[in-house]
Amino acid sequence: MRALVLAAGVGRRLGAESKPLSLVAGRPLLMHVLDRLAEGGVSEAVVVTGHRAEAVRHGIASGAPKLSVHFVEHPDFDAGNGRSLLAAASWVPSSGTVLIMGDHLHTPATIAGLVGAKPVQTTLVVDPRPALCPDLAEATKVAIDAGWVTAIGKNLDVYDAVDTGLFWICPDLVGVLREAQAERGDCTVSDGVARLARGRRVAARPSTAAWLDMDTPADLVRAEGLVRRERGGKVQVR
């Protein structure tokens, strides 16, 4: 079971030299993402790097990941995370694969549930409790009807949930992202999801399990607390 991990961006709001290497409970953020993927049943990760790519590769290699890791470098990382996904398009099998943002933490159980379901269409894990989102203004909102995503974007006026940055993606998402790139040059994953959603081709998978999106120093503090609670107050430094 494979997962694509998008970790190419700069992370300017975080104010760190490298967001993927920012420490959470003594371990790089990206290592926590990879650990959770492994514990959720993923055996192989394809990490798309960009900003400080060599440092990220070295940091992951020295962190003793629990799964096989391959790297795809995407130098044009400011062109939107959709372009980062396209850089690794050849790694998306016809049966689909997990996609996760490299700055999002999910429980292994959430990942295992998605892996075990093996959807037959592109699927977005959503949090149906938008009011609990710590930074709703910056969150990507999702409108849902009868289990299908009908619209997605940060500026939706009417929405039912928020995007958690965890997907099951199929080659159809790659196809619409290529269309968006041809039309506009840059593109985001949300652009591709929005295009598929117009034809009800993206399923919504609600989850109320804990998850975090790391954009600011306050988010890192929340992540530190989450990891400490999971470890019973202990921090393991590797």
Instruction: Return the HEC string of the chain.
Output: CEEEEEECCCCCCCCCCCCCCCEECCEEHHHHHHHHHHHCCCCEEEEEEECEHHHHHHHHHHCCCCCEEEEEECCCHHHCHHHHHHHCHHHCCCCCEEEEECCEEECHHHHHHHHHHCCCCCEEEEECCHHHCCCCCCCCEEEEECCEEEEEECCCCCCCEEEEEEEEECHHHHHHHHHHHHHHCCCCHHHHHHHHHCCCCCEEEECCCCEEECCCHHHHHHHHHHHHHHCCCCCCCC
- Of all residues in the chain, the percent with pLDDT exceeding 90 is 76
Q: pLDDT band for 238, please (50, 70, 90 cuts).
A: very low
Higher per-residue confidence, 206 vs 65: 206
Higher per-residue confidence, 111 vs 221: 111
Lowest mean pLDDT among 41-50, 108-117, 129-138: 129-138
- In sign, the C-alpha dihedral spanning 42, 46, 51, 54 is positive
Predicted local confidence at residue 233, as pLDDT:
53
Higher per-residue confidence, 214 vs 15: 214
pLDDT at 14 over 90: no
Can you give the residue ranges of every domain in the chain?
Answer: 2-230
CATH of domain 2-230: 3.90.550.10
> How many CA atoms lie less than 13 Å away from 84 in the CB half-sphere?
28
- Of all residues in the chain, the percent with pLDDT exceeding 70 is 97
pLDDT at 193 over 50: yes
Predicted local confidence at residue 237, as pLDDT:
38
State how far the Cα of 196 lies from the Cα of 210, in Å rounded to an integer.
Answer: 27
Sequence-separated (6 or more) residues with CB below 8 Å from residue 215:
11, 13, 14, 103, 135, 138
Over residues 45-64, the mean pLDDT reads: 93
Over residues 186-191, the mean pLDDT reads: 94
Q: pLDDT band for 11, please (50, 70, 90 cuts).
A: confident
CA dist 94 → 90, 108, 168 (Å): 10, 24, 12
Calculate the average pLDDT of the chain.
92
Over residues 37-60, the mean pLDDT reads: 95
Lowest mean pLDDT among 99-113, 179-193, 223-237: 223-237
Lowest mean pLDDT among 40-44, 179-183, 233-237: 233-237
Lowest mean pLDDT among 48-52, 54-58, 192-196, 220-224: 220-224
